[in-house]
Amino acid sequence: MEDQNIQLPRIGEKFPEFEAQTTLGKVSIPKDYAGKWFILFSHPADFTPVCTTEFVAFQKRYDEFRKLNTELIGLSIDQVFSHIKWVDWINDNLKVNIEFPIIADDGTIAKLLGMIHPGKGKNTIRAVFIVDENGVLRAILYYPQELGRNFDEILRMVKALQISDKEKVAMPANWPNNELIGDKVIVPPATDIKAARFKQEKYDNYDWWFCYRELGAKE
């Protein structure tokens, strides 16, 4: 039976605090990542094919994430020596050096973050938590064990969230390749008649409630 006293994290709230052992030493989350964005992601188990492809995919994009001031943290319910041997195997056989830490969890963190599906045994699902530089949870993704993640989408999400914060805009579907407005961004809708008329005159639009502009354009 699930612990009814556990409150799973929600978007817009502070990310839960905990300490953990990783392949790169002990960490305190989110404290050790203050001032940085980070992505905490779980995988079902070490030495499994889909998880191996995912770790290679994340490492291949690690430099791109770091350019966005974003760090990566893996997690599964495996002992740290298993993580270390798996990382060594990836390096030896696939010639990819996994540079980010992997948390060795006994199940405590996975339960805290809702990473264990009751119908899938004790392994973690493929969860993704995107946390901003203030320790606020900005996005949550859950994937089934049999489906590997799209890491270009995760990278896109971080870029879009950071731009949204900086420019106070919203991002359309499939940004930056939206079917209606391309790589433009959506202006927040007006909250009164005067503002609606102003926005409709100032910005490209489909109507007063659907105005958009070029990225980086001055308000």
Burial of residue 11 (CB within 10 Å: 0-12, 13-18, 19+) is: exposed
3-state secondary structure of 217: coil
Asked if 50 and 173 count as a contact pair (C-beta separation under 8 A), the reply is: no
Query: What is the dihedral angle through the alpha carbons of 184, 190, 194, 197, rounded to the nearest 10 degrees?
Result: 30
Q: Please state the rounded mean pLDDT for residues 148-166.
A: 97
Cβ atoms within 10 Å, residue 91 = 12
pLDDT tens-digit readout, 188-212: 989 999 999 999 999 999 999 999 9
Confidence at residue 121, expressed as pLDDT on a 0 to 100 scale: 67
Confidence at residue 217, expressed as pLDDT on a 0 to 100 scale: 72
Asked whether the predicted pLDDT for residue 119 surpasses 80, the reply is no
pLDDT tens-digit readout, 159-196: 999 999 999 999 999 999 999 999 999 999 899 999 99
CA Rg value for the chain: 20
pLDDT tens-digit readout, 22-59: 999 999 999 999 999 999 999 999 999 999 999 999 99
User: 80 pLDDT band (50/70/90 cuts)?
Assistant: very high
Euclidean distance between CA atoms 101 and 25, whole angstroms: 8
List of domains in the chain: 18-167 (3.40.30.10), 168-219 (3.30.1020.10)
Positive or negative, the CA dihedral 49, 51, 54, 56 is negative
Positive or negative, the CA dihedral 186, 191, 197, 202 is negative
Which residues have a catalytic role annotated? 51
Burial of residue 36 (CB within 10 Å: 0-12, 13-18, 19+) is: middle
Following DSSP, what letter does each residue of 42-69 receive, concatenated? E-S-SS-HHHHHHHHHHHHTHHHHHHTT
**CA 30 and chain centroid, separation:** 14
User: 123 pLDDT band (50/70/90 cuts)?
Assistant: confident
Confidence at residue 144, expressed as pLDDT on a 0 to 100 scale: 86
